[in-house]
A and B are shown apart, each in its own frame.
Chain A
Amino acid sequence: MVDKKIIEIVDVIDTSKVFAKLSDSQSGGICVFVGAVREFTKNEKVMSLEFEAYEQMALREMDKIAINAIEKWQLNSLIIQHAVGFKKVEDPVVVVGASSAHRDACFEACRYLIDTLKETVPIWKKEVFENKTVWVSAHP
């Protein structure tokens, strides 16, 4: 039985609230992954990232990932939050987290959540450098 499943696309991620959202009396393990903006890509200084989402499809794809993970690892609570808009260096851009009775399940679930999100969820990231912008992964 899943206590909580939070699937959101938001303007700003508040990482300080994630623990409370995943904590429950059945869970001895809570695992969270936060993706953030890194300052350099291949030695080039990144000024900011811009995220765009096809929101209704992204939420559906995120929900599919969540349902799969809850079933596979018997999770008690789960969160997937992705930010959109302009983000500066160090800003959190994605949070995935899971809680389970023991730690193995939530560790493995977090890995699955972020890896699958990156493969299937229709969200796009543009790197803004000093002199150019690049849509990440667009070209081989």
Chain B
Amino acid sequence: MKVLLFGIAKDIVGSSQLQFSEVVPKTVLELKQLISKTYPKFGELSSLAVAVNSEYAKDDVPLNRNDEIAIIPPVSGG
């Protein structure tokens, strides 16, 4: 499973993508917990959202291998 990274999320991980092969998160919540455990700096952010197929997704939304999944750190456009 591939996860896209933007902004500070890209800096924290040091890459524009994360790849999950052994432990694959099944929901948005599991993904948030997994990345926060692996990269504790995510816990320091003002907020952390996940997008599934270009839509903001709540914690209980299931993740499928073919979804386009992205970590959305606090936005700051404008």
**Interface band, chain B:** 20 to 34
19 A-B pairs with CB atoms under 8 Å apart are A54-B54, A54-B70, A60-B54, A60-B55, A118-B76, A122-B51, A123-B77, A123-B78, A126-B7, A135-B8, A135-B73, A136-B76, A137-B46, A137-B75, A137-B76, A138-B8, A138-B76, A139-B44, A139-B46
A17: min CB distance to chain B, Å: 20
Q: Does B70 contact A35, Cβ atoms closer than 8 Å?
A: no
C-beta contact mask, A122-136 vs B, less than 8 Å → 1, else 0? Answer: 111110000000011
Number of inter-chain CB pairs below 8 Å: 79
* Given A135-B7, A139-B46, CB of A124 within 8 Å of CB of B54: no
Which residues of the partner chain A approach B77 to less than 8 Å between Cβ atoms?
51, 53, 58, 82, 94, 117-118, 121-125
CA gap between A121 and B78 in the complex, in Å: 9
Binding site for B on A (CB under 8 A): 35, 51-54, 56-58, 60, 82, 93-94, 114, 117-126, 135-140
Contact among A58, A60, A124 with B76 in the assembled complex (CB-CB below 8 Å): A124
CA gap between A93 and B76 in the complex, in Å: 12
Q: Does A124 contact B73, Cβ atoms closer than 8 Å?
A: yes
Q: Does B75 contact A120, Cβ atoms closer than 8 Å?
A: yes
Answer whether residue B62 sits at the interface, using C-beta atoms and an 8 A cutoff: no
Q: Does A35 contact B75, Cβ atoms closer than 8 Å?
A: no
Which residues of the partner chain B approach A114 to less than 8 Å between Cβ atoms?
78
* Residue of B4, B70, B74, B76 contacting most chain A CB atoms (<10 Å): B76
